[in-house]
Amino acid sequence: MPVIAEIEDLRRLYRRRTPRMFFDYAESGSWSEQTFRENTSDFAHLRLRQRVAVDMSNRSTASTMIGQDVAMPVALAPVGLTGMQCADGEIKAARAAEKFGVPFTLSTLSICSIEDVAAHTSKPFWFQVYTLKDEEFMRRLFDRARAANCAAIVLTLDLQVLGQRHKDLRNGLSAPPKLTLKSIANMMTKVQWGLGMLGTRRRFFGNVVGHAKGVTDPASLSAWTAEAFDETLDWDRVRQFRDMWGGKFIIKGILDVEDAQKAADLGVDAIVVSNHGGRQLDGAMSSIRMLPRIVDAVGDRVEVHMDSGIRSGQDVLKALSLGAHGTYIGRAFTYGLGAMGEAGVTRALQIIHKELDTTMALCGERDVHNLGPQNLIVPQGFDDPTMRL
Ligand code: GLV
């Protein structure tokens, strides 16, 4: 067994063990992938301030996200098709998250359904929804999330239309995978993955098939996803969704100060500064560079979370130091899942936690709540979208 020292080790194993089509789905951005790349590379422009001879004992990474206790302010982000990365993937990831003490967010485009994940976990998870046209389906999704005791809705606002991902087009991505000579040849080399998939009945989009009108098989599902997203969305509609749910409400996909202000005006519980992991508007700024301005503008009114680009505990520390109240990892836990199932997600969380804790110590901090600008050296213009770094 190779030594798993960092998230990159999990990524390497994941790449070896998972069919190409699903690895590529996770490991891609839209179009030229500039934003996908900059989400991670921009973290490297932030340097840490080393402090010495301070009491570093009794450190704590414990915090809260939307009032919920968390072992560290790192939630698992909603990731579509997680149950294709590894059999029963959403259930495994949710279990790892609950054992670790961090929130798990289930995607609407998951393979395991809301009910299935609820039946196999014991703590309330969060549920992500897209803004879909089908009002009845949306109401039913909220009802199902309520019945499953979900603790929050995470509404994705940056996917009214899909950003084109070239790799997915070339691979003919679908769930379950289309059987072509190329995909069969590739899957035959992924023995562990194949055995897992043969052993589960969860191979379709569990929240949609049999629930959305006219969607009974995967072929009609692709037609449904192409047509389902609401291009006419506006802030009134967002307000309606918030009222339809009536509980804790998080808006995801904010990358602009004006949009952040509008979201804060709605009185939501949190916003997630996010560009969808670079999967939607390629050429948009990285989340980490937009974070400071958004925190400045609305941080006193709403909890500001961030995702896109976090691959280490040091990245988490940098986001928290720039004012994020919480963070999310998507790819980082997906690598773990594809590499080693539930144990791999646990390993990803342990790695991030250890890196966060040790870095905190070397920065001379004992409590995540005390992290702030004093822990960073930020290059001039970092938070200015008009400046090149
Ligand atoms: C879904 O939200 C995706 O980015 O594929």
Q: Where are the domains of the chain?
A: 7-377
Q: Answer yes or no: is pLDDT of 1 > 80.
A: no
Q: Please give the CATH architecture assigned to the domain spanning 7-377.
A: Alpha-Beta Barrel (3.20)
| pLDDT over threshold 80, residue 225 | no
pLDDT band at 388 (very low <50, low <70, confident <90, very high): confident
How confident is residue 266, by pLDDT bands cut at 50, 70 and 90?
Answer: very high
List pocket residues of ligand 1, CB cut-off 6 Å: 80, 109, 159, 276, 279
Residue 56 is which amino acid? M
Query: Higher pLDDT residue, 348 or 204?
Result: 348
Residue 208 assigned ligand-binding role: no
**Does 107 count as an annotated binding residue?**
yes
pLDDT reading at 223 higher than 80: no
% of the chain at pLDDT higher than 90: 89
The catalytic residue positions are 276
- Average confidence score pLDDT of the chain: 95
The average pLDDT across 156-177 equals: 91
pLDDT of 50 over the 80 cut: yes
Ligand 1 centre to CA of 231 (Å) is: 16
Least confident of 153-157, 167-171, 281-285, 317-321: 167-171
Which residue is closest in CA terms to ligand 1's atom 3?
Answer: 80
Region 22-51 average pLDDT? 98
Q: How far is the CA of 79 from the centre of ligand 1 (A)?
A: 7
Quick one: tokens of 216?
């009974």
Indicate the residue type of 178. K
Q: What is the pLDDT of residue 219?
A: 63
Lateral strand order in the sheet of 270-273: 74-76, 326-329, 303-306, 270-273, 249-254, 152-156, 126-130, 105-106
State the pLDDT at residue 389: 84
Task: Identify the residue whose C-alpha is closest to ligand 1 atom 1.
Answer: 80
Atom number of ligand 1 nearest to Cα 159: 2
If you average pLDDT over residues 37-58, what whole number do you get? 97
For the segment 164-188, the average pLDDT, to the nearest whole number, is: 90
Distance 233 CA to ligand 1 centre (A): 18
Q: Is the pLDDT of residue 221 over 70?
A: no
pLDDT > 80? residue 218: no
Residue 214 confidence (pLDDT): 76
Q: Say yes or no to pLDDT of 297 above 90.
A: yes
Residue 167: pLDDT band with limits 50, 70, 90: very high
Mean pLDDT within 133-148: 95
The burial class, CB within 10 Å (0-12 / 13-18 / 19+), for 185 is exposed
Do the beta carbons of residue 292 and residue 323 sit within 8 Å?
yes
Residues 334-350: what's their mean pLDDT?
Answer: 98
- Whether residue 154 is predicted with pLDDT greater than 80 in this model: the reply is yes
Confidence category of residue 249, pLDDT binned at 50, 70, 90: very high
